[in-house]
C-alpha cells in the first residue's frame, strides 16, 4: 500500500478567451498548489478496481476520475493489474480547487509506484490530460501558466515563483457549490478577453513587487456575482480592506492572500469578516502556496 498527498490548487488568474470547435474554451491561467489537500491510499486488488471515500458526496463509481485514471493507465501501459483506492477527502466538492483532477494524478502516481514503473513527467502529463483539462498541472505542481484548454503547462519565471511560493492565504467556501458546466454556460460575451490582454497581466507582474495588483483576475466572477450577490459583496469588502481576494476557478471557493509577516493578525480579522458574511458553516482553511 502507498499513500499519496493530493493537493488543492487556486487560480491566481483565470482568463477565458473563447470557445473552441471541440466545445472546450481557450484560457490563460496562473495556477498554484496549496499545502492542504486529500490523501489517497492505493493498493493492489484482485479482479476489479474499487474506491471508498469518507465523504458521502463523492461518487465511488466510474464517474470518479480516480477510477477513470486506473482504467486509462491500464490501457496505456497494457498491464492487467487492478487497484483499490481509499480517499480521505479534505478538499470541498464543487469548489474550483481542482480536487478531482488532483485525485486522478495522485492515483496515477500511486499505481506507478506499486507497479514499479518510472515514467517521465511529460509522459504522465500526456496520459492524465485525457482525463481532465487541468490534470497536467498536478504532475509537477509548481506555480505555472496554464494555456490551451488547460493541458499546456509552463512554469513561471523563477523570480515570480519565489514571490508566490510560501504566500499565506485563507481559502473559504460558502455552503453551496457551483458546477463547472453551469459556470461556463453562464459566460456572456464581455466575460471573455484576448490572450494578449491576459498575458499583459503576467508581464506587469514581473514589475509588481507584490504581484497581486497585476495578476488577480477571474473571467467567471462577473456572471457569478450577479447570481450569488453575497459572495461578490464579500470579495469587494475584503479587497477594500486591503486583503487581495478572488474566486478560484469556476467557484464557489475563494481565497484571501495575507501580507507577509502579518499572517496571524490578518487571519483572525479575515475569518471574522467571512463568517459574519457567509455564516458559521462556511468552509475556512488557512494554507500556504507550495
Where are the CATH 3.30.230.10 domain residues in the chain? 2-155
pTM, two decimal places:
0.93
Q: Where are the beta strands (DSSP E) in the chain?
A: 2-19, 25-45, 50-53, 82-88, 144-147, 152-155, 168-173, 217-218, 245-247, 254-257, 283-288
* Residue 191 near residue 222, CB atoms below 8 Å: yes
3-state DSSP call for residue 20? coil
Which of these is catalytic: 9, 89, 173, 285? 9
134 carries an active-site annotation: yes
Residue 53 dihedral angles phi and psi, to the nearest 5°: -145, 145
Residue 279 has pLDDT above 80, yes or no: yes
- Exposed e or buried b for every residue in 4-27, given b needs 16+ CB within 10 A? bebbbbbbbbbbbbeeeeeeebbb
**DSSP-assigned beta bridge partners for residue 40:** 4, 87
Question: Would the pLDDT of 195 be above 70?
Answer: yes
Closest CA to 235 of 250, 247, 252: 247
| Cβ atoms of residues 269 and 245 within 8 Å | no
The SS3 call for residue 251 is coil
Q: CA end-to-end span of the chain, whole Å?
A: 26
pLDDT at 264: 79
The C-alpha cell at 193 is 478577453
Distances from the Cα of 81 to the Cαs of 49, 77, 85, in angstroms?
A: 9, 10, 13
Q: Alpha-carbon distance 247 to 238, whole Å? A: 12
Residue 127 has what pLDDT?
94
Task: Give the domain 166-288 fold.
Answer: Alpha-Beta Plaits (3.30.70)
Distance CA 290, CA 260 (A): 15
What per-residue confidence (pLDDT) applies to 209? 66
d(CA 15, CA 194) in angstroms, rounded, equals 8
Is the pLDDT score of 39 beyond 70?
yes
Query: Coil, strand, or helix at residue 289?
Result: strand
Residues 2-155, CATH architecture: 2-Layer Sandwich (3.30)
Q: How many residues does the chain have?
A: 290
81 pLDDT higher than 90:
yes
Kindly report, residue by residue over 110-150, the tens digit of the pLDDT: 999 999 999 999 999 999 999 988 899 999 999 999 999 88
Among the options 38, 49, 134, 285, which is catalytic? Answer: 134
Amino acid at each position: 500500500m502507498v499513500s499519496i498527498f493530493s493537493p488543492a490548487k487556486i487560480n491566481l488568474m483565470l482568463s477565458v478567451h473563447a470557445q473552441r470547435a471541440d466545445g472546450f474554451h481557450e484560457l490563460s491561467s496562473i495556477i498554484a498548489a496549496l499545502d492542504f489537500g486529500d490523501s489517497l491510499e492505493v493498493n493492489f486488488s484482485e479482479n476489479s478496481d474499487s474506491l471508498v471515500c469518507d465523504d458521502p458526496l463523492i461518487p465511488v463509481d466510474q464517474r470518479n476520475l480516480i477510477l477513470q485514471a486506473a482504467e486509462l493507465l491500464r490501457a496505456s501501459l497494457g498491464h492487467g493489474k487492478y487497484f483499490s483506492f481509499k480517499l480521505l477527502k479534505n478538499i470541498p466538492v464543487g469548489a474550483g480547487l481542482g480536487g478531482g483532477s488532483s485525485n486522478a494524478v495522485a492515483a496515477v502516481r500511486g499505481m506507478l509506484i506499486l507497479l514499479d514503473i518510472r515514467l517521465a513527467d511529460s509522459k504522465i502529463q500526456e496520459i492524465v490530460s485525457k482525463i481532465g483539462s487541468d490534470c497536467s498541472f498536478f504532475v509537477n505542481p509548481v506555480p505555472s501558466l496554464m494555456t490551451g484548454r488547460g493541458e499546456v503547462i509552463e512554469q513561471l519565471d523563477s523570480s515570480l515563483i519565489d514571490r508566490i511560493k510560501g504566500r499565506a492565504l485563507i481559502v473559504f467556501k460558502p455552503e453551496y457549490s457551483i458546477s463547472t458546466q453551469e459556470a461556463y454556460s453562464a459566460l456572456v460575451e464581455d466575460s471573455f478577453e484576448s490572450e494578449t490582454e491576459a498575458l499583459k497581466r503576467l508581464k506587469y507582474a514581473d514589475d509588481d513587487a507584490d504581484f497581486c495588483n497585476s495578476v488577480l483576475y477571474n473571467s467567471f466572477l462577473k456572471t457569478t456575482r450577479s447570481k450569488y450577490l453575497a459572495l461578490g459583496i464579500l470579495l469587494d469588502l475584503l479587497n477594500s480592506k486591503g486583503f487581495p481576494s478572488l474566486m478560484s476557478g469556476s467557484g464557489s471557493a475563494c481565497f484571501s492572500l495575507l501580507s507577509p509577516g502579518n499572517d496571524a493578525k490578518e487571519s483572525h480579522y479575515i475569518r471574522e469578516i467571512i463568517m459574519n458574511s457567509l455564516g458559521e458553516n462556511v468552509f475556512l482553511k488557512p494554507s500556504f502556496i507550495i
